[in-house]
């Protein structure tokens, strides 16, 4: 199992129950001290990259929407946690697309 698979599987365990939008609690002091606006912008940027690779995960955009709503609601820690998760998802999707660009061939039955 390669690193990506392990990462992705680990990530899958973070999936909340089907269809539920549970929220992981944000730590009050987030690393680097970036503002919500910065993290949100970075997540949007990462999402655009994944979108260009035609490989976006289905919950990422929802996380960003929820992040925006939480921020508007004054729930900043939650907003930051959501945007951070969205950014991570978008980045992983990009890595997945890049890795798969060649590895798919190893699975072909007629090989």
Q: Kindly list the residues in this chain that would bind another protein in the complex (CB under 8 A).
A: 4-5, 8-9, 11-12, 15, 18-19, 54-61, 89, 96-97, 100, 102-105, 107-111
**Residue 36 or 87: which CB sits closer to another protein?**
87
Please say whether the beta carbons of 21 and 62 come within 8 A: yes
Q: Give the chain's radius of gyration (CA, Å).
A: 16
In angstroms, the CA 79 to CA 37 distance is: 10
- Least distance CB 29 / another protein (angstroms): 28
- Least distance CB 28 / another protein (angstroms): 27
Please say whether the beta carbons of 90 and 60 come within 8 A: yes
- Least distance CB 109 / another protein (angstroms): 4
In angstroms, the CA 79 to CA 86 distance is: 11
- Least distance CB 74 / another protein (angstroms): 24
Dig out the tokens for 78 from the structure.
């939650």
**Residue 79 or 92: which CB sits closer to another protein?**
92
**Residue 22 or 58: which CB sits closer to another protein?**
58
**Residue 14 or 37: which CB sits closer to another protein?**
14
Cα angle 22, 26, 29 (rounded to 5 degrees) comes to 180
């Amino acid at each position: 199992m390669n690193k990506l698979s392990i990462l992705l599987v680990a990530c899958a365990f973070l999936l909340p129950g089907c269809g539920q939008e549970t929220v992981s609690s944000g730590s009050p002091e987030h690393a680097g001290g970036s503002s919500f606006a910065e993290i949100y912008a970075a997540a949007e940027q990462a999402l655009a990259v994944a979108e260009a690779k035609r490989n976006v995960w289905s919950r990422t955009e929802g996380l960003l929407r929820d992040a925006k709503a939480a921020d508007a609601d004054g729930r900043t820690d939650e907003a930051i946690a959501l945007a951070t998760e969205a950014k991570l998802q978008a980045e992983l999707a990009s890595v997945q697309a890049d890795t798969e660009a060649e590895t798919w061939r190893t699975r072909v039955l007629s090989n």
